[in-house]
Structures are given as C-alpha cells and as structure tokens.
Structure 1
Amino acid sequence: MLRIHHQVNGGPTALFVEEADVPRAGPGEILVRVEAIGVTLPAVRKVLASGEPTTLGGEVAGEIAALGPKVTGFAVGERVTGLCFSDAYAEFAVLGAAMTSRIPADASAAEAVALVRSGLVARGAYEAARMQPGESVLVTAAASATGTLALQYARAGGAGRVVAAVGRPEKADFVRELGADEIVLYEDADWGAPYDVILDGVGGDLLNPAVRALATGGRLVAYSSGGGTVEAFELLVRGASLIGFQMRAIAVGQPELYDRWLRELWQLRDAGTLRTAVHEEIPLAEAARAHALIEQRRNLGKVVLVTGAGR
C-alpha cells in the first residue's frame, strides 16, 4: 500500500510517499480500506516540531477490510469512520473499535471526517462551557472544521450573540454564513469583549487575550493542541474559569455519552442544523499541499486527503 511518511527537517516538504505493508488489526482493532483522511492542526504541528521521523495520526473514513480478535458489533464491508493514532495517511489504517462508528449510507467519506471528530469536539466544548440561552459566545479558529461546527452549536443552543474570531479578514463572509453575528480579527484590540463563553481552538499566544475578553463569571473552554500559559490574576479578577476539554476522555471513560452525542450529531446533520464545510479534497500523494493550507491558515473548513478508493 501507499502511505505518507515524515522525514526530519520539518515543514510540509518533509512529507513523502512510500510503499509499506498493509497493517494487521490486533485485538480490539479494525482494519479499514481508507477513502478519506481529515488533516488536523495537531498533525501539522507534529511535523513542524518533530526532530525525528514520525508517523501521522488523524481521522479516517472507509470500508472495513478486516476485524481483529475480540471485535464485535462490526462487519467486513461496512463503511466507518474513526481516529487513527499512527499511519492514518495511508491506503489502509488500523482503528480502535471503541472510537469507530458507522457512516450513514447517504454520507460521503469526506463528509464523515469533516463532521464526526470535529463535531464531537465542538459538542463537548459546548457542553463543558455550560452555556445558557442568551449568553454571548466567542469562537476562535472559527473557520476551522471544529470552529465552524462550534459556531453552529452555539447558534442552535440559543446564544444571544455569536462572534467568530479569525486570523484573516477574507474569512468573514464564510463564518457569517455559518451563524456568526459578528467577526473579530486576532489583531483587534479587545475582540468585542466581554463574553460569557469563549470556545478556544487556538491556544498559545492567543490564550491570554482570550482570558481578558471574558466577562465576570465567564468560562473559557480550551480544546486545542496549542498549549499556552494563563495569568491566574486575569481569571481571579473576573471570577472566571478556564476549562480543558479532551474528546478521548469521553470516548474511553464515558462510552454511553459518546455514543449518544454521536447519534445526535448525525440527527442534527439530517435536520440541517449542522452543516459541514470541506475546503478541498486533495489526493493522498499531495499531503504536503494539504499541510501547507493548514499551516498558512488558508483553509475554510476541513482539508481532506482522498485515496481514490470507494466514494
């Protein structure tokens, strides 16, 4: 099979195509013939920061090719999506059964990788914020796959004011179409503060400006891989809270809740409440171009790699 591997040096040009053996599914695992792979900011950051060759994880969708020992509830030939923690950029990938779910017959693989993982993270961040109807909400990285769905969750949840924070003014029309009332740029002085809730998908240097934009008693939910250090005084003077959210903790620790959110996600999609945004479907061999789009923050929605298998 073909897969994308990573050379040392960093940057998109460090990605290259190589031939590799088809992996085997171990206990509790599923082997998938991959149709689509969702490119994520954590994967891009991993390539940029890594000082040694590394494999790349990400969301994948495709057809089940084989089931490992002790896997029940799935069958060869079913179309599924899930998170692969290594060698996701390949024609075959191994998924943990606990984080794998079926794709509806009317959904494409590209739509599945744009909706499921990002939608679950958006839902989880929204729940962690304990948002109440009428409250004001700011979503950072609003043009990302997760950000676009977080905007829609906030709007559907009855937020009184939904504001999208983006890095480029040309993204304004895009996020406005997905439910944003107002647009702010990261370089703006006060981000239109204050906000009752901030859903932050950026982290890093933007974390403290986000904290300063919180209203008294506000809540900031951080779900990015960007890290960052918060000045505790800024939280103290506002009586505000910083909440970290990780989807894996829900998938592994609360599987019934994870399954319920997953079912509701597709129901909201069917009702038209949630719409996915796919920036571009890019051939697997051009993974470097996909990474460049993410690194340069030029994407509007999900960047998806496709293998040519399936539909």
Structure 2
Amino acid sequence: MRRVRYESAGGPLFVEDVPVPAPGAGEVLVRCDAVGVTLPMVRKVTEAAEPVPLGGEVAGEVVAAGQDVTRFRVGDRVTGLCFGHGYAEFALLHEAMTSPVPDDADAVTAVALVRSGLVALGALDAARLAPGESVLVTAAASGIGHLAVQLARARGAGRVLGAVSNPTGTADPAGPTKADFVRSLGADGCVRYDDGTWGDPVDCVLDAVGGDLLTPAVAALAPHGRLVAYSSGGGTVRAYDLLVGAKSVIGFQMALIARGRPDVYERWRRELWRLFAEGAVKPVVHGEFALEDAAAAHAVITSRANLGKVVLRP
C-alpha cells in the first residue's frame, strides 16, 4: 500500500510503498476513502523532535477486524481517529475511536463532519451554553471552527461571533473572504485576532488557537464567562484575569471522552448526524488532495488559507 511519511522534523513529505498492516486485538483495518488534515498533525511535522506517524481522521470501509472487535464487521462503512499511520490507503482504528457512517453520507462528508463536529459539540457542552447566550469561536473558518459556529446556532445561542487571523484573506481571490465565509455559516459578525477589542463581551469562548490568543480570549468574556480550550497551541492564563470577572477556563480533549465516556461520545455522534440530516449543520470541504500532494494540503493549513476542512483522497 501507499502511505505518506517524513524522516526529519520539518522535512519533506513523501509517499512510500509498505505492506498492508494487520489489525490487532480491538482494532479494525479500514480501506481509506478520505483522510482529514488537522492543525495538530501539521504542527507535529514541524515541531516534534522526532518524526511521528501521520495520523488523524479517516473514513472508509472495514476490510478486516481483529480479535475482540464486536461492533464492526467487514464491509461496514466507518470513520474514526487513527493514532498510527493514517495518511495511507489502509489504516488501523481502535474500536473505541470508531463510529459508523450512515448510508446516505459519503466518506468525505463523514471525515469532515464527525471528528471536528464531535469536538465542537463537546466544547459547547463543556461551556454549558444556555439558550440565548453569546458565543465567540476562534479559528472560525477552520475544520472545527466552521462547524462550531453552526452548532452554536443550532444549540440556541443568541449571538454567535467568529474570530479569524485575517477576515479579508482567501485562498481564491475570486472567492469569499474569511469574514464572508464565517457569516455565511450563521455568525452575526467576524473579528480579527489583533483587533483592539472583540466587541461586546460574550458568555462563552471556544478556543482552538491557544498561545498568546488566550489573553484576549479571556478579556472577551463577560463576568462569569467560560473559556473552553481545546487547542494544541499551549499558552498561559493569568489567575488575576479570571478572578476579577469570576471567569473560568475549561480544558477539553475528545480522546478522554471517547475512551472513558462512550455513552457521551455516542450521544454526541447521534446528535451530530441528526443535525446534519435536518440541514442544521453542513460541513464545508476546502479542497481534496491526493496522497502525493500531502505537502500542498499541509501548506493550506499552515498559511491559514482554508475555508472549512482539508481532505486527502487515497
């Protein structure tokens, strides 16, 4: 099979031919029809001290199942998170991190919707969003962010704002700007990270960026506001900035939920597909790339040019 690999930090991505892996206990082998490209994976390529497997979200058909697998069988269409080599024609998924794909959805839709949508739903739950409250979503044009904007509206938010690096930026000069894109998703407005103020305070901030952006994100909160951090970008929050407004910061990680609270994971998954079927949420795919063009796909993420999800098609 073909898979993408690299040999040194920041080094070039290349395609190699390797044997198809065999599933171990609790694993399924999936023939990949679509693979999601994520910012955390792109960051690992450039920042990790040693090369790591290029993993992430995959969708396709189960072609083999390991011992102790009970929920899936050969021929099932699934999507899930691959912790090994996912930029490949075949990938191994742990059963706990795998979920079925409805008959009326294709692989690209599944890989664009499920993992990113589950993170967005989970972040909204962690924020304890109440109907009528206001929400600001950072990285609002990203794979997760563009779904979080829609889901916040579907969950009854009274005001939804997006924050992006460059509202006038676009990968296509003839296409919509990021601000246009975010508003088309149902946002009431779009702000730039380095604006002096992000407008009227909000009840919740869903942050996928981290780093230096945490300070203005906390400042954007109204008294008793909640910041949900689900970024791989790190960062520090000053305790005083929380104390003066009785604000809180909540960390969120999907893997802990999938492994430790499968009932919650399944509830979110069902809600996500229901909202998709009702037309309340629609994943947007920025572009589809061949395995040989994985470096170009990463470049789209690195340049923050994407409007929606970036997908590889093995």
Normalised by the size of structure 1, how large is the TM-score?
0.96
The residue that corresponds to 2:23 in the other structure is 25
SS of 1:145 mapped into structure 2: coil
SS of 2:33 mapped into structure 1: strand
The residue identity in structure 2 corresponding to 1:112 is: A
Q: Where do 1:289-300 residues align within 5 Å?
A: 289-300=296-307
Deviation at 1:75, TM superposition (A): 1.3
CA distance in 2, matches of 1:17, 1:246: 31
Determine which of 206, 212, 218 is the counterpart of 1:205.
Answer: 212
Q: C-alpha deviations, 1:152-189, integer Å up to 9, x for none?
A: 11111221211000111220111101010011001101
1:153 paired to 2:151:
yes
The residue that corresponds to 1:84 in the other structure is 82
Determine which of 32, 35, 50 is the counterpart of 2:33.
Answer: 35
The residue that corresponds to 2:51 in the other structure is 53
1:223 paired to 2:221:
no
Q: C-alpha deviations, 1:124-178, integer Å up to 9, x for none?
A: 0000101112211100000011111111111112212110001112201111010
The residue that corresponds to 1:4 in the other structure is 4
Determine which of 180, 187, 192 is the counterpart of 1:180.
Answer: 187
> Would the aligned equivalents of 1:142 and 1:165 in 2 still touch at CA under 8 Å?
yes
Deviation at 1:106, TM superposition (A): 1.6
SS of 2:244 mapped into structure 1: helix
The residue that corresponds to 1:283 in the other structure is 290
CA distance in 2, matches of 1:264, 1:228: 32
Q: C-alpha deviations, 1:72-131, integer Å up to 9, x for none?
A: 121101111000001000111000011111111121111101100011000000001011
> Would the aligned equivalents of 1:59 and 1:84 in 2 still touch at CA under 8 Å?
yes
CA distance in 2, matches of 1:9, 1:258: 34
The residue identity in structure 2 corresponding to 1:75 is: R
The residue identity in structure 1 corresponding to 2:194 is: E
Deviation at 1:271, TM superposition (A): 0.3
Determine which of 281, 285, 302 is the counterpart of 1:274.
Answer: 281
CA distance in 1, matches of 2:28, 2:134: 42
CA distance in 2, matches of 1:156, 1:277: 17
How many matched pairs? 305
The residue that corresponds to 2:239 in the other structure is 232
CA distance in 1, matches of 2:44, 2:7: 12
Q: C-alpha deviations, 1:166-215, integer Å up to 9, x for none?
A: 11122011110101001100110111141111011111111111011111
CA distance in 1, matches of 2:268, 2:35: 22
> Would the aligned equivalents of 1:6 and 1:14 in 2 still touch at CA under 8 Å?
yes
Deviation at 1:9, TM superposition (A): 4.1
SS of 1:14 mapped into structure 2: coil
CA distance in 1, matches of 2:121, 2:29: 28
CA distance in 2, matches of 1:216, 1:36: 43
The residue that corresponds to 2:260 in the other structure is 253
CA distance in 1, matches of 2:197, 2:290: 40
Deviation at 1:50, TM superposition (A): 2.0
CA distance in 1, matches of 2:187, 2:151: 11
The residue that corresponds to 2:118 in the other structure is 120
Normalised by the size of structure 2, how large is the TM-score?
0.95
CA distance in 2, matches of 1:256, 1:54: 31
Deviation at 1:244, TM superposition (A): 0.3
**What are the ranges of 5 or more consecutive residues in structure 2 without an aligned counterpart?**
168-176
SS of 1:81 mapped into structure 2: strand
CA distance in 1, matches of 2:225, 2:242: 9
The residue that corresponds to 2:171 in the other structure is none
CA distance in 2, matches of 1:256, 1:248: 13
The residue that corresponds to 1:103 in the other structure is 101
Deviation at 1:41, TM superposition (A): 0.4
SS of 2:271 mapped into structure 1: helix
> Would the aligned equivalents of 1:131 and 1:197 in 2 still touch at CA under 8 Å?
yes
CA distance in 2, matches of 1:28, 1:195: 43
> Would the aligned equivalents of 1:136 and 1:195 in 2 still touch at CA under 8 Å?
yes
The residue identity in structure 2 corresponding to 1:197 is: C
**What are the ranges of 5 or more consecutive residues in structure 1 without an aligned counterpart?**
none
Determine which of 164, 167, 177 is the counterpart of 2:165.
Answer: 167
